[in-house]
């Protein structure tokens, strides 16, 4: 991988463009910031498409299905098809199906929301927990009786998949705990055998999550009670962990030499790409400032201010870039 | 401290009895096991009282107030007054009041149950959160709007106290997160000043808790989302942490030389006592087998089978001890 290059002249950008066929994009801080599009991002994505490039969006968001995530792209006027969006919930479902060869007669207990459920359904993996009404209520104080009954537990559960869950509650934690600690839970998960093996997966390990201009406890924090009580380490799917990029590579038949990952976070994007042998492009529209590379000792292949620079430089319309950088394009939720 | 002694003859027991004036007891695994009294425990406690000894019960249970814990003692026919029970919730309230000199115009945000609330009320510390209806509901999926409003937050909060909470929910976690990360939250907590400093306390760090013959995620697990998301370390009150024994020593004016701690757990009881310069007596009616001492390299001052041995040996009525050891005395909840 080349040492970091900062692009300036139109020919630098032209060279960058010609070098990669597949452009993988992180979302928050790159194409949008919270609920607003990054200025010029829409045009930059259109420009890449017009230049014959393949565009894929890679997000750790596991609360929403790809179908709902697509609606956000639509609202912000960023062209994306459902097939071009890889969420950590989708990658978790693919990982269960393809890598773990999860048996069709076993179920996943979901400690999460609609995003995980929809993606499991899409690959025909059975599930329980999640948004089901019986698992979204408070238990009477100090009363475990409803949790020890045989009926409360499903013996066919062969995986616990945790993600962001605004309806996290003690009953769900207890059920997940019991699935993960029952006899043989750390063993193999076999078709036709109930009980026994139980995988432990976490869609993404983000300890905090941004929303409405604030930070909030994220999936990586919400799963810690299970990690602490079971003493088990989950398989973590989302960036910067390898299963996410492995899934993307497999699904889209990625040529590592001709692909680049565009992100705003040195750890979850730039290191993630480097560990996966993919070149990286750091944009400064998110959490990282240029001087952070030196401070953290993490260097991307390239740095640009914003993905909007792509189009401005290429077309020579620097005026547009300057205008766009003044403010982000507001879009209502 | 003497090396471990195993007691056998009546004179051994007589010597043990004469050596200590104050007998501190762990509860679960020592005087009761779940919802059943340990055989002979009631008589052993009565015997100690009849011998002029002071008896104090020290429990990490923070879900119930001392008043409710006393009811459990009553049900199991183990004589105890409320004043002889120290729970981690009670110790947390005392610690706030005495050690941290918590200002009377500041509030505690409770992520816990009735036990913490009752003990804060008993020492006139104001509180919010906890069992209040507004903090015990689920939020609409992906909607943080109710949490960012100024009205949702109480600017007078100067401490977050976490304990066991069967009504744990994302809204409580978010509020606690915001109190613990607001500007100046790690600074001093001052009277007459709202905002700023915010203490972070955990009643006890037990990762699992026993109930109905099973283990379940405990307070120490339920607080991990806050530790992970805020990157703050809480002050941990309960055994084996020092604040619990410091509180007991101060409250009861303990003479270290003339006091002994009786427990069933090498880490939370025996090490706890040793670190607090108190002699210890290991009973084998709970989680520890005699050979575990060698394996763990943790040695109590004394080992006996059960506290019922105290009375059997002293009175020579070994027959009673033998009978009692056959089964535990069942008492309905």
CA angle B230, B235, B238 (to 5 degrees): 130
Residues B274, B11, B52: CA angle, nearest 5 degrees: 70
pLDDT-based confidence at residue A269 (cuts at 50, 70, 90): very high
Buried (b) or exposed (e) across A117-142, using 16+ Cβ within 10 A?
Answer: bbbbebeebbbbbbeeeebbeebeee
Q: B106 and chain A: CB distance < 8 Å anywhere?
A: no
CB proximity B51 to A under 8 Å: no
What distance in Å separates the CA atoms of residue A99 and residue A237, rounded to the nearest whole number? Answer: 12
pLDDT digits (tens, 9 = 90+) for B184-234: 999 999 999 888 899 999 999 999 988 888 889 999 999 999 999 999 999
Q: Are residues A205 and A144 in the same domain?
A: yes
* Domain identity same for B230 and B267: no
Catalytic member of A21, A26, A206, A279 = A26
- Contact of B275 with chain A, judged by CB distance below 8 Å, is answered with no
Is residue B26 annotated as involved in ligand binding?
yes
Question: Domain residues for B153?
Answer: 101-236
Q: Which of A213, A217, A225 has the CB atom closest to B222's CB atom?
A: A225
B residues 127-166 lying closer than 8 A (beta carbon) to A: 136, 138-145, 147-148, 165-166
Do A304 and A290 share a structural domain? yes
d(CA A239, CA A217): 17
Q: Would you mind telling me the total number of residues written for chain A in this entry?
A: 333
Give the domain-ending residue among B177, B205, B236.
Answer: B236
Query: pLDDT in tens for each of the 333 residues of chain B?
Result: 347 887 778 888 888 999 999 999 999 999 999 889 999 999 999 999 999 999 999 999 988 899 999 999 999 999 999 999 999 999 999 999 999 999 999 999 999 999 999 999 999 999 999 999 989 988 887 778 777 777 789 999 999 999 999 999 999 999 999 999 999 999 999 999 888 899 999 999 999 988 888 889 999 999 999 999 999 999 999 999 999 999 999 999 999 999 999 999 999 999 999 999 999 999 999 999 999 999 999 999 999 999 998 886 656 544 333 333 322 322 222
**Which residue in A has a C-alpha nearest to residue B206's C-alpha?**
A229
Same domain for B183 and B141: yes
Binding site annotation covers A264? yes
Residue A323 has pLDDT above 70, yes or no: no
Does a structural domain hold residue A281? yes
Radius of gyration for chain B, computed over Cα atoms and rounded to the nearest angstrom: 21
- For residues B228 and B118, membership in a common domain is answered with yes
Cβ-defined contact of A221 to B216 (cutoff 8 Å)? no
Residue-level pLDDT at B140 = 81
Pairing of strands B22-25, A302-304: unpaired
Determine whether the interchain pair B170/A173 forms a contact, defined as Cβ–Cβ distance below 8 Å: no
Please check whether residue A298 is in contact with residue A271, taking contact to mean a CB–CB distance below 8 angstroms.
yes
- Of B168, B215, B229, which has the smallest distance from its Cβ to A207's Cβ? B229
Q: Is residue B206 part of a domain?
A: yes
- Confirm whether B37 is domain-assigned: yes
Q: Do B117 and B231 belong to one domain?
A: yes
Confirm whether B307 is domain-assigned. yes
Question: Could you tell me which chain B residue has the CA closest to the CA of A139?
Answer: B166
Last residue of a domain, one of A219, A236, A253: A236
- A108 is a domain residue: yes
Cβ–Cβ contact A117 with B under 8 A? no
A110 lies in the same domain as A220: yes
DSSP per residue over A219-287, as a string? Answer: HHHHTHHHHHHH--PPEE-STTSHHHHHHHHHHHT--GGGEEEEES-IIIIIIHHHHTT-EEEEESSSS
Q: Is the pLDDT of residue A327 over 50?
A: no
What CATH number is attached to the domain comprising B268?
3.40.50.1000
Chain segment A118-159, per-residue pLDDT in tens? 999 999 999 999 999 989 988 887 778 777 777 789 999 999
For residue B234, list chain A residues with Cβ-Cβ distance below 8 A.
Answer: none
State the average pLDDT over residues A191-216: 91
Which CB contacts under 8 angstroms, 24+ apart, belong to A313-319? Answer: A313/A7, A313/A9, A313/A10, A313/A12, A313/A13, A314/A10, A314/A13, A314/A14, A314/A17, A314/A47, A315/A47, A316/A10
Q: Give the Cα separation of A278 and B302 in Å (integer).
A: 62
Domain for residue A88, yes or no? no
Mark yes or no for CB contact A224/B228 under 8 Å. yes
- Phi, psi angles (nearest 5°) of residue B208: -130, 160
Q: Is A217 on the interface with B (CB under 8 A)?
A: yes
The pair of structure tokens assigned to B186 is 């790690």
Give A17-73 pLDDT, tens digit per residue: 999 999 999 999 999 988 899 999 999 999 999 999 999 999 998 888 999 999 999
- Say if A32 falls within a structural domain: yes
- Name the burial class of residue A81, with classes exposed (0-12), middle (13-18) and buried (19+) by CB atoms within 10 angstroms of its CB: exposed
Of B221, B236, B251, the position where a domain reaches its end is: B236
How many whole angstroms separate alpha carbon B73 and alpha carbon B78?
A: 5
Confirm or deny that A71 is annotated as ligand binding: no
With both helix axes pointing from N to C terminus, report the angle between A114-122 and A66-75 in degrees, rounded to the nearest 10. 120
β-bridge partners, B85: B57
Count how many domains chain B has: 2
Is residue A333 very low, low, confident or very high in pLDDT (cuts 50, 70, 90)?
A: very low
Distance between B175 CA and the closest CA of chain A, angstroms? 9
Confidence of residue A7 (pLDDT cuts 50, 70, 90): confident
Mean pLDDT of chain A: 89
pLDDT one-digit tens code per residue, A118-128: 999 999 999 99
Locate the chain A residue with the closest alpha carbon to B170.
Answer: A166
Tokens representing residue B53 in the block: 């000894």
**pLDDT (tens digit, 9 = 90+) per residue, A293-308?**
999 999 999 999 999 9
A200 — phi, psi (to 5°)?
-125, 115
CA distance A202 to A164: 9
The answer to whether the annotation marks B239 as part of a ligand binding site is: yes
Same-domain pairing of A255 and A231: no
Catalytic residues of B: 26, 28
The verdict on whether omega for the bond into residue A240 sits within 30 degrees of 0, i.e. cis, is yes
Does one domain contain both B163 and B182? yes
A98 lies in a domain?
Answer: no
- Is a pLDDT exceeding 70 seen at residue A317? no
Q: Are residues A221 and A249 in the same domain?
A: no
Predicted local distance difference test score (pLDDT) of residue A329: 29
Q: Which residue in the set A148, A166, A217 is minimally distant from B141, CB to CB?
A: A166
What does the pLDDT read at residue A268?
A: 92
Q: Say if the Cβ atoms of A138 and B173 lie within 8 Å.
A: no
A287 and A173: one domain? Answer: no
Q: Residues A180, A230: contact at Cβ < 8 Å?
A: yes
Distance of residue B140 Cα from the nearest chain A Cα, in angstroms: 8
Beta bridge pairs of residue B254: none
Q: ipTM of this predicted complex? A: 0.88
DSSP for residue A208: E
pLDDT at residue B272, as a whole number:
96
Residues A227, B225: C-beta atoms closer than 8 Å: no
Q: Quote the pLDDT of residue B313.
A: 64
Q: Tell me if residue A47 falls in helix, strand or coil.
A: helix
Residue B252 shares a structural domain with residue B267: yes
């Amino acid at each position: 991988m080349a040492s970091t290059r900062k692009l300036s002249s139109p020919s630098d950008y032209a060279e960058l463009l010609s070098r990669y066929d597949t452009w993988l994009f992180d979302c928050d801080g790159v194409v949008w910031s919270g609920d607003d599009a990054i200025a010029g991002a829409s045009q930059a994505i259109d420009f890449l498409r017009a230049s014959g490039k393949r565009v894929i969006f890679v997000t750790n968001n596991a609360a929403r299905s790809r179908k709902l995530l697509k609606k956000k792209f639509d609202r912000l006027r960023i062209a994306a098809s459902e097939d071009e969006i890889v969420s950590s919930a989708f990658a978790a479902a693919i990982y269960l199906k393809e890598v773990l060869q999860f048996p069709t007669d076993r179920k996943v207990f979901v400690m999460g929301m609609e995003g995980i459920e929809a993606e499991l359904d899409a690959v025909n993996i059975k599930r329980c927990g999640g948004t089901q009404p019986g698992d979204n209520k408070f238990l009477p104080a100090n009363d475990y009786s409803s949790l020890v009954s045989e009926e409360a537990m499903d013996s066919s559960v062969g995986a616990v998949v945790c993600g962001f869950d605004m309806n996290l509650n003690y009953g769900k934690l207890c059920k997940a705990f019991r699935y993960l600690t029952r006899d043989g839970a750390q063993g193999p998960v076999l078709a036709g055998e109930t009980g026994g093996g139980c995988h432990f997966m976490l869609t993404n390990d983000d300890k905090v999550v941004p929303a409405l201009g604030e930070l909030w406890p994220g999936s990586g924090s919400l799963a810690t009670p299970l990690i602490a009580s079971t003493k088990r380490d989950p398989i973590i799917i989302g960036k910067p962990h390898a299963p996410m990029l492995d899934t993307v590579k497999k699904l889209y038949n990625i040529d590592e030499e001709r692909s680049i990952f565009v992100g705003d976070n040195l750890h979850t994007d730039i290191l993630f790409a480097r560990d996966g042998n993919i070149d990286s492009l750091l944009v400064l529209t998110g959490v990282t400032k240029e001087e952070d590379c030196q401070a953290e000792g993490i260097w991307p292949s390239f740095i640009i201010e914003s993905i909007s620079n792509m189009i401005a430089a290429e077309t020579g319309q620097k005026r547009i870039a300057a205008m766009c950088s003044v403010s982000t394009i507001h879009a209502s939720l």
